[in-house]
Amino acid sequence: MGRPRLIIVCGIPGSGKSTFALRVADRWGAVRFASETFAEQLGAAARTVSGDLSKEAIVHAYSVMGAAVRDSLATNKLVVAVGSFRSEEQRRRFRDIATSSDASVVTLRIVCPIETAAKRVRSRLSSGERGPTADAMLQIDAELNRAKDIDAVLTNDSSIEHFHRQVDAVIQAVESGSDHLASMVSHTNGNGQ
């Protein structure tokens, strides 16, 4: 087995992070973890009255997901950690996990127009899921816009087929090295973000 790889996938709710992770798991055999899954272990305490994750749920989710990622890097070639990863500290912690596991690591941000993400979240809410408010989404977006430690950005603003092709190209780039990833992603998303 070659050196394990961790992909930290960040972005606002509704941007396509889970779609990315599902594609990588289905097509490339990755093991995937989502912070929200771990947050939901807390039941009703995971969400505030407005539907946003509580601070306690966020701390719990990233702590437990970090342990799961560390364990998984010991036996899996490709691991994907999905969450908003809104703070530099969260992203740094997962980078440190990769380093201590002798894994390569890429932090990838998935972006789409905020209106598109909000529409996707509203669709989830109408089916009974709980989720963030528009204000929370804007706050996460603003925090990620200030980030200096994101290696690549992938835009998800067209068809699912196009997004899947972009995801496959990202994984091929990760397989061949991160220098290739940076040039490929700028070309793939078409706007250099």
Reduce the DSSP state of residue 31 to 3 states and report it: strand
pLDDT(177) > 80? no
Reduce the DSSP state of residue 34 to 3 states and report it: strand
User: Measured at the alpha carbon of residue 70, what is the angle toward residues 65 and 76, in degrees to the nearest 5?
Assistant: 110
Domain ranges of the chain: 5-189
Tell me what percent of the chain is helix, strand and coil, each rounded to the nearest 5.
55, 15, 30
Measured CA to CA, the distance from residue 129 to residue 115 in angstroms comes to 19
pLDDT in tens, 46-76: 877 766 778 888 889 999 999 999 999 999 8
pLDDT in tens, 122-165: 776 666 666 677 778 888 899 999 999 999 899 998 888 988 89
pLDDT(189) > 60? no
CATH for 5-189 (1.10.260.40, 1.10.287.130, 3.20.20.80, 3.40.50.300): 3.40.50.300
Owner of token pair 């930290």: 8
The residue type found at 92 is R
